[in-house]
Structure 1
């Protein structure tokens, strides 16, 4: 038996001001369930025959809109149950609707996610959320809004505001991708219905611009490792760059946290701190030589970046960022002396690893797996388009 939904003025309860609460009434299997709409009306303003506010009712239009919205909500859920051939009671119907009524605001979910990421030690990812939060607060003044209010028009306004601040498409894209992840989280936690998802229409992909080349050739890698220097940090910079290149493009943060436990049966086994994906790759002989060179008995970490002195997540994060800045400064100087076509950083090793494998004919899915990417789409960003000389050579086959 299908349920019926209507709105009644609940005369069994009278408030101190003489008004009665307005209630949704669900009837199913000869049982009734009442749910307050959160408003009350004096009986003189309610048409009991037509079950609607009279013409002279204060706030008539707002109350009628509320009634229409709520009855539609319950009717749609009844239809959903029917299409799914699910048995339900009046109580279950109300509970299903109420899942979406205990919603957090956008601000509350931001705070929750930032705290969660910090507790998991994913401080860099937490800072990405924090940057987006600060940006949105400047744009919208406050975020005491529900996710259903973030629609396509709202997103377009935010994009226009970011562009007025001089941000490039790629920088805007980072903010929108982070916001999209948060919106998906809100749907997952039933804070908003999937039908309100605005990113089906608003395409974040349009915000991607082709990035500046961030990889070098194998010959350039050989020139870097052959670079001579007596400076301790310069040698460390070169060795870490080469270790990353030889070890699946492992990024600097993950290198920093490596210990002896990450070497198992001549393989490097670790979980990416960013994506939480488990990586298992063979250790190249030259990569292992670099590990042996820097491993110290009194330090559990493989490289002299972290030590037992750094006890808290904040201390470790600060130390990693400090050393990374020094390493990248050293690499940049090397790149300038060698006249490399791009600024040399630790990340260039990761991009170069991916690009060299791709040009060697390795499948993108395998490269993606070794990099620990969440999808092949992310990997594509790492891979350079073919050089003009390769295209020129290929075009000769047309004649």
Structure 2
């Protein structure tokens, strides 16, 4: 009995968008089974005689790609079963399919992924993917990304790279965009929106080729002490906050601004600062110096009202992950502007930002002869994560002794 595989526009059913679903139709021995391809089309754009989209059909190329893939996979399964002389019916053929067809355009996948991540509270990742989506839209001349992930091959990536370089982007930006696109592609593979064999990131196109090393941004210990000992009593509240956050970060293991913002009284345990990094979720446990404690105590009244150690987040106002993320981003920008003023007032020519405090913490300890295993060279070059791994591998007493070199 011959098996036929075809597609039809099931015009007897109208979806909420006014379109009809496109179905895979499998016939054998007088029996028939239909399976949705996950795409739809308005009946006026469908050629019912030829069972294909008309030339004026929107997204015609994309629809044809989905149809060809679905029919091809089903026919391959039929041939395999016939070669093995296995019995099957149209219904069992559909249910035994190794990989369910979940055809999606890059546009659909990005939009849904970003929405899902925001709903899950993974705001940072959602914004990174939102940025990637926006850049791809610009590369596509502002048009929707109606092509499938299979279109993203090594040639596509090379053109994307050339386009970004023509706009003045450096290797650091190119690396970020390609790594983000690679992450989305891997998610698409996991969701079975594209076959893993189609993944161009690897031998065909290597993201590791980009030079992402950045110039060192650490201050000397002399410059750090200028900032630590600066008298800011006559300055504005925001200026004093910027100074306090920089000094606190430097004294507390180079704690990142986002982690400073999220500190609560629960993070102070037996005179130590214990928290999990927002970025890597790695556990950090370091001693709180007397000077660091004095900075915390300066904001005790605010903490009692708002629930956070520093006047960045307010537990009464900033509830959702998006609200918190936006607030942290805004205040970090304001603090960095104030730190530039501080550097000018102290006649420090180097850039001074919240991140510089983190980098300077590691560099000062390294120059003081602290074990390279505790303060990794990676903090200033390729990876911050490596340093956190090294820090977590040592006893508190070793870290405590090392931090005596900060002042």
By how many angstroms is 1:346 displaced? Answer: 0.4
Could you tell me how far apart the structure 2 residues matched to 1:175 and 1:107 are? Answer: 16
* Residue 300 of structure 2 corresponds to residue 295 of structure 1: yes
| Equivalent residue runs for 1:83-232 within 5 Å | 94-95=94-95, 97=97, 99-140=99-140, 141-200=143-202, 201-230=204-233, 231=235, 232=237
TM-score, reference length from structure 2:
0.67
Structure 1 pair 362–166 and aligned structure 2 pair: CA distance change class (3 A): same
Deviation string 1:298-335 (CA, Å, 9 cap, x unpaired) is 23110112224424434433432332222111111222
* Residue 390 of structure 2 corresponds to residue 376 of structure 1: no
Native 8 Å contact 1:249 1:351 kept in 2: yes
Find the counterpart in structure 2 of residue 342 from structure 1.
350
Native 8 Å contact 2:218 2:357 kept in 1: yes
Could you tell me how far apart the structure 2 residues matched to 1:261 and 1:346 are? Answer: 23
| Equivalent residue runs for 1:254-265 within 5 Å | 254-265=259-270
Native 8 Å contact 1:100 1:191 kept in 2: no
Native 8 Å contact 1:23 1:36 kept in 2: yes
Could you tell me how far apart the structure 2 residues matched to 1:189 and 1:374 are? Answer: 30
Could you tell me how far apart the structure 1 residues matched to 2:384 and 2:79 are? Answer: 35
By how many angstroms is 1:166 displaced? Answer: 2.1
Find the counterpart in structure 1 of residue 311 from structure 2.
304
Q: Point out where structure 1 has 5 or more consecutive residues left out of the alignment.
A: 1-5, 11-20, 27-31, 43-61, 83-88, 381-399
Find the counterpart in structure 1 of residue 284 from structure 2.
280
Could you tell me how far apart the structure 1 residues matched to 2:136 and 2:327 are? Answer: 29
Deviation string 1:115-134 (CA, Å, 9 cap, x unpaired) is 23323444344222212111
Structure 1 pair 154–302 and aligned structure 2 pair: CA distance change class (3 A): same
Could you tell me how far apart the structure 2 residues matched to 1:22 and 1:234 are? Answer: 65
Could you tell me how far apart the structure 1 residues matched to 2:112 and 2:133 are? Answer: 12
RMSD between aligned residues: 4.4
Native 8 Å contact 1:364 1:376 kept in 2: no
Tell me the SS of whatever aligns to 1:298: helix
Tell me the SS of whatever aligns to 2:104: coil
* Residue 366 of structure 2 corresponds to residue 362 of structure 1: no
Structure 1 pair 115–354 and aligned structure 2 pair: CA distance change class (3 A): farther
Structure 1 pair 37–134 and aligned structure 2 pair: CA distance change class (3 A): closer
Native 8 Å contact 1:7 1:22 kept in 2: no
TM-score, reference length from structure 1:
0.68
Deviation string 1:252-308 (CA, Å, 9 cap, x unpaired) is 122112111222333333333333x14221232132332222222223110112224
By how many angstroms is 1:379 displaced? Answer: 9.4
By how many angstroms is 1:238 displaced? Answer: 1.7
Could you tell me how far apart the structure 1 residues matched to 2:103 and 2:145 are? Answer: 13
Structure 1 pair 118–8 and aligned structure 2 pair: CA distance change class (3 A): closer
Structure 1 pair 368–281 and aligned structure 2 pair: CA distance change class (3 A): farther
Q: Point out where structure 2 has 5 or more consecutive residues left out of the alignment.
A: 7-22, 38-45, 50-64, 391-407
Could you tell me how far apart the structure 2 residues matched to 1:208 and 1:377 are? Answer: 20
Find the counterpart in structure 1 of residue 55 from structure 2.
none
Count residues in correspondence: 334
Structure 1 pair 156–261 and aligned structure 2 pair: CA distance change class (3 A): same
Could you tell me how far apart the structure 2 residues matched to 1:76 and 1:348 are? Answer: 63
Could you tell me how far apart the structure 2 residues matched to 1:377 and 1:69 are? Answer: 50
Which of residues 359, 368, 377 in structure 2 aligns to 1:351?
359
Could you tell me how far apart the structure 1 residues matched to 2:387 and 2:104 are? Answer: 31
Find the counterpart in structure 1 of residue 396 from structure 2.
none
